[in-house]
Amino acid sequence: AALAGTTAFAQSYPTQPITIVVPFAAGGPTDTVTRLVARAMSEDLGQNIVVENVGGAGGTLGAARVAQAEANGYTLLLHHIGMATAETLYRELPYSATEDFEYVGLVTEVPMVFVGRSDLEQNSLEEVIEWAKTEGEAVLYANAGIGAASHLCGLLFMNAIDTQLTPIPYQGTGPAVTDLMGGQVDLMCDQTTNTTTQIRDGSIKAFAVTVPERLDSLPDLPTTAEGGLPEFGVSIWHGLYAPSGTDEAIVARLSEALQVALADPTVIERFADLGTSPSSAEDATSEALEAKVRSEIDLWRPIIEAAGVYAN
Ligand code: MLT
């Protein structure tokens, strides 16, 4: 009887608005991606989707909130690579990325860019590296806390140039980029979804993109390899999750709505303008996201352990 009950429930799903928790501040890259996808998903599901920003502790507060939420398909999480890196960065994480969630699917993969305040004298990544090595901890680099993409990129950068800078943590890179525009911080490595507009209008300065090929959206921007860091590379993937125990039929319905949303011409166009593209229909599946989370935990663990940085 219990099984018949859940199936009937799944068939009528969704009958009320759905909340997607973004584990970073409003106005930032995860928020931007989520709002674009949520609008298209809500059309397919015939229900409103509310985006709730639960920032703090590098995305782990918002993820913990969803891990503990009722597994009824009405509270979801949209999170990025931090889902995998936090597994090593946090010795005491209040949830498990592999045990406390159902996987809906991959959403997108986003390049990062090294950016600085607009009045920096440096005009290339080589010059930024030279300056950072000379000034060291006098250089303020903004990030969104331990577990954030901006934190990971900063960590890889400091390792690559063998220099410690001073991290300034925010609840998300939305507020961080505002401070970078205001000149309160010097440098940041952030996703193109949060920096492309500001780079184009000159309110921040861009030095390099962290993927092997230049971007169509910012064609003049060199890659990190061109800028003197041949080994450097990082790209940020996002996934959609439900709390573990969510009915399989509900998760399947959400994967379907995600696939429809990612094929929406407005989503594709907006993503392209922000230097990214939606995941394919094969990747916007439970299996693909689970495989990604597991492989990325294994990929980043030795790198983070070698760096010896932990949040707790
Ligand atoms: C955000 O949405 O604020 C970002 O994804 C933060 C980050 O991970 O750097």
Residue 308 confidence (pLDDT): 78
HEC sequence for the chain: CHHHHHHHHHHHCCCCCEEEEECCCCCCHHHHHHHHHHHHHHHHHCCCEEEEECCCHHHHHHHHHHHCCCCCCCEEEEEECHHHHHHHHCCCCCCCCCCCEEEEEEEEEEEEEEEEECCCCCCCHHHHHHHHHHHHHHCEEEECCCCCHHHHHHHHHHHHHCCCCEEEECCCHHHHHHHHHHCCCCEEEEEHHHCHHHHHCCCEEEEEECCCCCCCCCCCCCECCCCCCCCCCCEEEEEEEEECCCCHHHHHHHHHHHHHHHCCHHHHHHHHHCCCEECCCCCCCHHHHHHHHHHHHHHHHHHHHHHCCCCC
174 Cβ closer than 6 Å to some ligand 1 atom: yes
Ligand 1 atom closest to the Cα of residue 23 is: 2
Question: 24 C-alpha to center of ligand 1: Å?
Answer: 6
pLDDT tens figures, 35-81: 999 999 999 999 999 999 999 999 999 999 999 999 999 999 999 99
Question: 160 C-alpha to center of ligand 1: Å?
Answer: 22
112 Cβ closer than 6 Å to some ligand 1 atom: no
Residue 227 confidence (pLDDT): 94
d(CA 284, CA 104): 7
pLDDT tens figures, 265-308: 999 999 999 999 999 999 999 999 999 999 999 999 999 998 87
Residue 4 confidence (pLDDT): 47
Q: Judge if ipTM > 0.85.
A: yes
d(CA 188, CA 142): 5
Which positions of the chain have pLDDT values less than 70? 1-10
172 Cβ closer than 6 Å to some ligand 1 atom: yes
Please choose from 20, 52, 80 the residue to mutate so as to test ligand 1's pocket, defined by most ligand atoms within 8 A of CB. Answer: 80
Residue 37 confidence (pLDDT): 98
d(CA 235, CA 210): 7
How far, rounded to the nearest angstrom, does the alpha carbon of residue 156 sit from its chain's CA centroid? 16
Question: 115 C-alpha to center of ligand 1: Å?
Answer: 14
* Bridge-based pairing state of the strands 18-22 and 75-80: parallel
Question: 148 C-alpha to center of ligand 1: Å?
Answer: 6
Residue 259 confidence (pLDDT): 98
